Amino acid sequence: RPSAKLDFKKLGPFRIEAIIGPAAYRITLSPEFKRLHPVFHTSLLVPFIDPKSFPGRRGPSVPRGQIVPSSRELDASDIDSIIGHRQLPLQAGAMTHEYLVTWRNGSTADNSWVKGALLAVSLHPYLEQFHTLYENSSNILSADDSIKIPAP
């Protein structure tokens, strides 16, 4: 990481191999961390809490940073709500529309911008509703103000 500020705060979960002393544990690290020493002080370790123990909290179902599929149109089975809109210039003065969407079974960290051309025709009424309600707004909406798309 380029700086400590941008470094990961918590990683894991990792399996504890052994208790080394009253304040140190040896953990099993994945291959990507092979350069790290596997013994950590207890102040650096936090117990893992299974996300399933928080009903109603939506966790990520797709890996973060996943590229939005362009081989098929996105429909109501993919998108939960529309929370933002922006226009980007193309060549020759044309504009393209992009929408900030929340994904079904995704967390807020998974929200991403999707080109309007990738959205299925069945979503066009929701896009029109978005533009009607928030015509002059270029801000990103709160979850309460978003245009919800019913599950199919």
For position 42, what pLDDT does the model report?
94
For position 27, what pLDDT does the model report?
93
Q: What tokens appear for 83 in the block? A: 């929370």
Contact 82, 99 (CB under 8 A): yes
Place of tokens 């978005």: 130
For position 91, what pLDDT does the model report?
79
Extended beta strands in 7-91, E state:
15-21, 24-28, 39-41, 79-89
Phi, psi angles (nearest 5°) of residue 92: 65, 30
Buried b (16+ CB within 10 A) or exposed e, 6-31: eeeeeeeebeeeeeeeeeebebebee
Place of tokens 């928030």: 134
What are the sequence ranges of the domains in the chain? Answer: 13-49, 79-148
**Mean pLDDT in consecutive groups of 10 residues from the start of the chain, 152 residues:** 76 88 92 88 86 65 46 82 84 83 82 86 88 72 79 80
Q: Using CA atoms, how far apart are residues 29 and 94, in angstroms rounded to an integer?
A: 50
**pTM of model > 0.85:** no
Q: What tokens appear for 58 in the block? A: 């939506």
Phi, psi angles (nearest 5°) of residue 130: -60, -50
Contact 16, 38 (CB under 8 A): no
CATH topology of domain 79-148: OB fold (Dihydrolipoamide Acetyltransferase, E2P) (2.40.50)
